[in-house]
Amino acid sequence: MVAISIIIIILAVLLGLVVLAQNPKGGGLATGFTGASQIGGVQRTADFMEKSTWTLAGALMVLCLVSASLQGTTVASDNLDAPIVLDENPNANAATTVGDSAQVSAPATPQAPK
């Protein structure tokens, strides 16, 4: 489960970098390589960036769905569904004033759910 979370974080960072590297007008990194495309062999950088964006977004979505489905199958052992036990004497924890001094009774011990 932790490995999937780490992969999701890495994919999210890569997706953010790929999206930021693109130019919204279609230029992006491709404008810097127009003259060097014959020398360096870099062709269609905008197509590569678009394909990598879609690939990373799809992989991120699939991993998020897998993570959610794995998380839904684990059973949490907490007390969220335990019934609330109310104290029989609601004024047991209240301070009673006698003259100028206040006396506080000892708090009641919690009862185990039945």
Confidence of residue 40 (pLDDT cuts 50, 70, 90): very low
pLDDT in tens, 72-114: 665 555 666 777 777 777 665 555 555 545 555 555 666 766 6
More confident residue, 33 or 80: 80
pLDDT in tens, 8-28: 999 999 999 999 888 766 555
* Parent domain of 23: 2-73
Structural domain includes residue 96 = no
More confident residue, 34 or 44: 44
Look at residue 49 in the predicted model and tell me its pLDDT: 86
Residues 6 or more apart whose CB falls under 8 angstroms from that of 38 comprise: none
The region, left, alpha or beta by phi > 0 then psi within -120 to 50, assigned to residue 28 is left
d(CA 45, CA 18): 12
Q: Which two tokens stand for residue 64?
A: 């998020």
Report whether 9 contacts 64 (CB < 8 A). Answer: no
Residues 6 or more apart whose CB falls under 8 angstroms from that of 113 comprise: 82, 83, 85
Look at residue 112 in the predicted model and tell me its pLDDT: 64
Report whether 107 contacts 93 (CB < 8 A). Answer: yes
Structural domain includes residue 108 = no
Q: How many domains does one find in the chain?
A: 1
Structural domain includes residue 93 = no
Structural domain includes residue 67 = yes
Structural domain includes residue 95 = no
pLDDT in tens, 47-81: 888 899 999 999 999 999 999 998 866 555 566 67
